[in-house]
């Protein structure tokens, strides 16, 4: 749900953008300071579909927005700052061969809780992967980036012949398990179209 106990301001002038902390298919994410609240947040140039999904969710394992607003031609989303970073970032920086099994089990359990919640509420994540599993400074696991498609997707999503359902997330969840265990997704060395074929 786009709400919080704190009231985050709805004007870009109330935020000081710092360094870029993430760059995905759909948007760039910055670390920012909410000046009136003196709180570090994540500031993202969002897409409407993602903001709509974020406004409908309320689960401890899903990254929720504090607020969103427009400034010029941009739709900005203010989110909690996940100081631990993404699992992909952690793998690349410290665990190139993947995590140990107890860590994988914990990350997958928490991510699966988020997917079960989304599916029960009629949503499909469409992009479960290590880069979208985030950790806060206390180690809490949150799934992020709702409704954003990436190149490593379930075949039924790529083909779009008969539509798709939650099975796309099940496929991606399995690939994520392998990515966490080995430090990379299967066939990640090959171009996406070659993998799909």
Over residues 96-105, the pLDDT tens digits come to 999 999 999 9
pLDDT for residue 150: 31
> 50: exposed, middle or buried (C-beta count within 10 Å: 0-12, 13-18, 19+)?
buried
Domains identified in the chain and CATH numbers: 12-80 (3.30.200.20), 85-196 (1.10.510.10)
Q: Which residues of the chain have pLDDT under 50?
A: 1, 3, 149-152, 161
| 4 three-state secondary structure | coil
Catalytic residues: 127
pLDDT at 48: 74
Helix (H) or strand (E) holding 108, with range, is helix 101-120
Identify the pLDDT of residue 149.
Answer: 37
Exposure class string for 81-110: b at 16+ Cβ within 10 A, else e: bbebbbbbbbbeeeeeebbeeeebeebbeb
> Is the Cβ–Cβ distance between 81 and 121 less than 8 Å?
no
- Whole-angstrom distance, CA of residue 90 vs CA of residue 76: 26
Chain Cα centroid distance, residue 197: 27
Q: Look at the block and give the residue holding tokens 């947040």.
A: 41
* Predicted TM-score (pTM) of this structure: 0.86
């Amino acid at each position: 749900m786009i709400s919080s106990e704190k009231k985050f301001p709805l004007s870009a002038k109330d935020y000081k953008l710092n360094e870029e902390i993430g760059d995905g298919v759909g948007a760039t994410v910055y670390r920012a300071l909410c000046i009136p609240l003196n709180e570090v947040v994540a500031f993202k140039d969002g897409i409407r579909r993602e903001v709509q999904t974020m406004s409908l969710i309320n689960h401890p394992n899903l990254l929720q927005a504090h607020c969103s607003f427009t400034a010029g031609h941009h739709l900005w989303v203010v989110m909690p700052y996940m100081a631990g970073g993404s699992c992909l970032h952690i793998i690349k920086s410290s665990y190139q061969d993947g995590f140990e099994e107890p860590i994988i089990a914990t990350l997958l359990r928490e991510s699966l809780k988020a997917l079960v919640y989304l599916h029960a509420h009629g949503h499909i994540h469409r992009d479960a992967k290590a880069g979208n599993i985030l950790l806060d400074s206390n180690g809490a696991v949150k799934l992020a980036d709702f409704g954003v498609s990436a190149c490593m997707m379930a075949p039924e999503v790529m083909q779009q012949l008969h539509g798709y359902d939650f099975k796309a997330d099940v496929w991606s969840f399995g690939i994520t398990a392998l990515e966490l265990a080995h430090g990379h997704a299967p066939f990640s060395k090959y171009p996406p179209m070659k993998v799909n074929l």
